Structure 1
Amino acid sequence: MIRTKGRACTGKRRHDTREDAEDHRQRLIAKGAVRIAAYQCRNRACRGWHVGHLPKPRT
């Protein structure tokens, strides 16, 4: 699971299903995006799916 550091989902595109989020992720990858993942929102009011960047690897 991706942590959002307590940030709200304001400004993020909401997807109703995981499949919709994965389709959006694939389109972004085709355009050159890297290290992104689909994840379920932890906000109780939203409970949708979002696409976001993965955390940077620790060195």
Structure 2
Amino acid sequence: MIRTKGRACTGKRRHDTREKAEEHCDRLIARGAVRLAAYPCRNRTCGGWHVGHLPKPRT
């Protein structure tokens, strides 16, 4: 699971399903974005899915 460092989902695009979030992620990657993934929102009032950057790999 990708952590949001305690930030709320305010300002993030909400998707109703995982499939819609993954489609959005694929469109962003096709436009040049890198290291993105869809993840479920941890905010219980949101209940949606978001797209965010993956953590940087450990070296």
TM-score (norm 1): 0.96
- Give the percent of matched residue pairs that are identical in Structure 1 and Structure 2: 85
Deviation at residue 34 of structure 1 after TM alignment: 0.5
Q: How many positions carry a matched residue from both structures?
A: 59
> Where does the alignment leave 5 or more consecutive residues of structure 1 unmatched?
none
Structure 1 runs of 4+ with >6 Å offset: none
Structure 2: segments with no counterpart, 5+ residues: none
- 1:10-54 deviation per Cα after TM superposition (whole angstroms, max 9, x unaligned): 110000000000000000000001000000000011010000000
TM-score by length of 2: 0.96
Matches of 1:2 and 1:13 in 2, distance apart?
16
Matches of 2:11 and 2:57, distance apart in 1:
25
Alpha-carbon RMSD: 0.6
